[in-house]
Structure 1
Protein backbone atom coordinates (compact mmCIF):
# COMPACT_ATOMS: atom_id res chain seq x y z
CA UNK A 1 0.00 0.00 0.00
CA UNK A 2 1.26 3.45 -0.86
CA UNK A 3 2.15 5.61 2.06
CA UNK A 4 1.30 9.28 2.29
CA UNK A 5 4.94 10.18 1.66
CA UNK A 6 5.18 8.23 -1.61
CA UNK A 7 1.84 9.60 -2.74
CA UNK A 8 3.03 13.17 -2.17
CA UNK A 9 6.31 12.41 -3.98
CA UNK A 10 4.40 11.03 -6.97
CA UNK A 11 2.07 14.04 -7.09
CA UNK A 12 4.92 16.54 -6.87
CA UNK A 13 6.82 14.63 -9.58
CA UNK A 14 3.75 14.71 -11.81
CA UNK A 15 3.35 18.47 -11.30
CA UNK A 16 7.00 19.10 -12.04
CA UNK A 17 6.94 17.00 -15.20
CA UNK A 18 3.73 18.70 -16.30
CA UNK A 19 5.40 22.11 -15.94
CA UNK A 20 8.44 20.88 -17.86
CA UNK A 21 6.19 19.56 -20.62
CA UNK A 22 4.98 23.08 -21.43
CA UNK A 23 8.32 23.85 -23.07
CA UNK A 24 8.80 20.50 -24.80
CA UNK A 25 10.26 21.24 -28.25
CA UNK A 26 8.22 18.74 -30.30
CA UNK A 27 4.46 19.42 -30.10
CA UNK A 28 3.73 16.29 -32.16
CA UNK A 29 5.16 14.14 -29.34
CA UNK A 30 2.24 15.13 -27.07
CA UNK A 31 4.23 15.09 -23.84
CA UNK A 32 1.26 15.73 -21.52
CA UNK A 33 -0.83 12.88 -22.95
CA UNK A 34 2.02 10.41 -22.56
CA UNK A 35 2.78 11.69 -19.07
CA UNK A 36 -0.80 11.27 -17.93
CA UNK A 37 -0.97 7.81 -19.48
CA UNK A 38 2.13 6.65 -17.61
CA UNK A 39 0.84 7.92 -14.29
CA UNK A 40 -2.63 6.43 -14.84
CA UNK A 41 -1.11 3.09 -15.78
CA UNK A 42 0.74 2.99 -12.45
CA UNK A 43 -2.07 4.34 -10.28
CA UNK A 44 -3.04 0.91 -8.90
CA UNK A 45 0.44 -0.16 -7.80
CA UNK A 46 0.49 -1.44 -4.25
CA UNK A 47 3.94 -2.97 -3.85
CA UNK A 48 6.30 -0.39 -2.27
CA UNK A 49 9.22 -1.60 -4.39
CA UNK A 50 7.23 -1.21 -7.62
CA UNK A 51 6.08 2.26 -6.55
CA UNK A 52 9.66 3.28 -5.81
CA UNK A 53 10.77 1.88 -9.19
CA UNK A 54 8.07 3.91 -10.97
CA UNK A 55 9.07 7.08 -9.09
CA UNK A 56 12.73 6.51 -10.01
CA UNK A 57 11.70 6.19 -13.67
CA UNK A 58 9.80 9.47 -13.42
CA UNK A 59 12.82 11.18 -11.87
CA UNK A 60 14.99 9.82 -14.69
CA UNK A 61 12.56 11.24 -17.26
CA UNK A 62 12.66 14.59 -15.43
CA UNK A 63 16.47 14.68 -15.50
CA UNK A 64 16.61 13.73 -19.18
CA UNK A 65 14.05 16.41 -20.05
CA UNK A 66 16.06 19.03 -18.15
CA UNK A 67 19.20 17.91 -20.00
CA UNK A 68 17.35 18.25 -23.31
CA UNK A 69 16.34 21.82 -22.44
CA UNK A 70 19.89 22.72 -21.38
CA UNK A 71 21.25 21.34 -24.62
CA UNK A 72 18.68 23.31 -26.60
CA UNK A 73 19.66 26.54 -24.83
CA UNK A 74 23.36 25.82 -25.35
CA UNK A 75 22.84 25.24 -29.07
CA UNK A 76 20.88 28.48 -29.36
CA UNK A 77 23.66 30.44 -27.64
CA UNK A 78 26.28 28.78 -29.81
CA UNK A 79 24.44 29.89 -32.96
CA UNK A 80 24.28 33.48 -31.69
CA UNK A 81 28.07 33.80 -31.50
CA UNK A 82 30.04 33.10 -34.67
CA UNK A 83 33.17 30.98 -34.38
CA UNK A 84 35.45 33.93 -35.27
CA UNK A 85 34.38 35.87 -32.16
CA UNK A 86 36.00 33.25 -29.95
CA UNK A 87 39.46 33.72 -31.43
CA UNK A 88 41.82 36.52 -30.46
CA UNK A 89 41.19 39.83 -32.21
CA UNK A 90 43.78 40.86 -34.81
CA UNK A 91 46.43 43.34 -33.67
Structure 2
Protein backbone atom coordinates (compact mmCIF):
# COMPACT_ATOMS: atom_id res chain seq x y z
CA UNK A 1 0.00 0.00 0.00
CA UNK A 2 2.89 2.38 0.73
CA UNK A 3 4.13 1.93 -2.83
CA UNK A 4 0.79 3.05 -4.22
CA UNK A 5 0.69 6.24 -2.13
CA UNK A 6 4.28 7.03 -3.11
CA UNK A 7 3.39 6.51 -6.75
CA UNK A 8 0.44 8.88 -6.44
CA UNK A 9 2.67 11.51 -4.78
CA UNK A 10 5.21 11.22 -7.58
CA UNK A 11 2.55 11.49 -10.27
CA UNK A 12 1.01 14.54 -8.60
CA UNK A 13 4.45 16.16 -8.36
CA UNK A 14 5.14 15.44 -12.03
CA UNK A 15 1.80 16.91 -13.09
CA UNK A 16 2.36 20.02 -11.00
CA UNK A 17 5.87 20.56 -12.35
CA UNK A 18 4.64 19.98 -15.89
CA UNK A 19 1.91 22.57 -15.37
CA UNK A 20 4.41 25.04 -13.92
CA UNK A 21 6.71 24.48 -16.90
CA UNK A 22 4.13 25.88 -19.31
CA UNK A 23 4.85 29.43 -18.16
CA UNK A 24 8.62 29.12 -17.77
CA UNK A 25 10.11 32.55 -18.59
CA UNK A 26 12.97 31.35 -20.80
CA UNK A 27 11.55 29.63 -23.91
CA UNK A 28 15.00 28.32 -24.92
CA UNK A 29 15.27 26.35 -21.65
CA UNK A 30 13.90 22.86 -22.24
CA UNK A 31 11.92 22.64 -18.98
CA UNK A 32 9.65 19.76 -20.01
CA UNK A 33 12.48 17.78 -21.57
CA UNK A 34 14.64 18.10 -18.47
CA UNK A 35 11.68 17.27 -16.27
CA UNK A 36 10.95 14.10 -18.21
CA UNK A 37 14.60 13.03 -18.22
CA UNK A 38 14.86 13.62 -14.47
CA UNK A 39 11.82 11.44 -13.76
CA UNK A 40 12.92 8.73 -16.21
CA UNK A 41 16.40 8.66 -14.64
CA UNK A 42 14.85 7.93 -11.24
CA UNK A 43 12.20 5.50 -12.43
CA UNK A 44 14.21 2.43 -11.40
CA UNK A 45 14.47 3.46 -7.71
CA UNK A 46 13.11 0.93 -5.24
CA UNK A 47 14.70 2.02 -1.95
CA UNK A 48 12.17 4.12 -0.03
CA UNK A 49 14.86 6.50 1.27
CA UNK A 50 16.15 7.18 -2.26
CA UNK A 51 12.60 7.73 -3.51
CA UNK A 52 11.96 10.23 -0.70
CA UNK A 53 15.21 12.01 -1.54
CA UNK A 54 14.16 12.31 -5.20
CA UNK A 55 10.70 13.57 -4.18
CA UNK A 56 12.30 16.19 -1.93
CA UNK A 57 14.46 17.35 -4.85
CA UNK A 58 11.38 17.62 -7.06
CA UNK A 59 9.56 19.64 -4.41
CA UNK A 60 12.59 21.91 -4.08
CA UNK A 61 12.55 22.51 -7.84
CA UNK A 62 8.83 23.25 -7.65
CA UNK A 63 9.34 25.81 -4.89
CA UNK A 64 12.24 27.45 -6.73
CA UNK A 65 10.17 27.68 -9.91
CA UNK A 66 7.30 29.26 -7.99
CA UNK A 67 9.75 31.76 -6.47
CA UNK A 68 11.05 32.56 -9.95
CA UNK A 69 7.49 33.26 -11.14
CA UNK A 70 6.80 35.48 -8.12
CA UNK A 71 9.99 37.42 -8.77
CA UNK A 72 9.07 37.84 -12.43
CA UNK A 73 5.62 39.08 -11.46
CA UNK A 74 7.08 41.49 -8.88
CA UNK A 75 9.57 42.92 -11.39
CA UNK A 76 6.84 43.38 -13.95
CA UNK A 77 4.65 45.25 -11.46
CA UNK A 78 7.61 47.37 -10.38
CA UNK A 79 8.18 48.42 -14.00
CA UNK A 80 4.50 49.19 -14.50
CA UNK A 81 4.17 51.39 -11.40
CA UNK A 82 7.31 53.44 -10.84
CA UNK A 83 7.92 54.64 -7.31
CA UNK A 84 7.93 58.27 -6.14
CA UNK A 85 11.73 58.54 -6.30
CA UNK A 86 12.10 57.34 -9.90
CA UNK A 87 12.23 59.90 -12.75
CA UNK A 88 9.18 59.90 -15.00
Tell me the TM-score normalised to structure 2 length: 0.92
How far apart are the structure 2 equivalents of 1:13 and 1:58? 7
- Which residue of structure 1 aligns with residue 65 of structure 2? 65
1:10-89 matches, within 5 Å, as: 10-84=10-84
Determine helix, strand or coil for the equivalent of 1:84. Answer: coil
1:19-65 CA-to-partner distances (Å, cap 9, x unmatched) read 00000001111100000000000001000000000000000000000
- Which residue of structure 2 aligns with residue 5 of structure 1? 5
Structure 1: any 5+ residue segments left out of the alignment?
Answer: 87-91
What is the aligned residue count? 85
Q: Which has the higher contact order (CA 8 A, sep 6+)?
A: 1
CA displacement at 1:85 relative to structure 2: 7.6
Structure 2: any 5+ residue segments left out of the alignment?
Answer: none
Determine helix, strand or coil for the equivalent of 1:67. Answer: helix
How far apart are the structure 2 equivalents of 1:45 and 1:10? 12
Determine helix, strand or coil for the equivalent of 1:56. Answer: helix
Name the Cα RMSD after superposition.
1.5
CA displacement at 1:83 relative to structure 2: 1.9
- Which residue of structure 2 aligns with residue 89 of structure 1? none
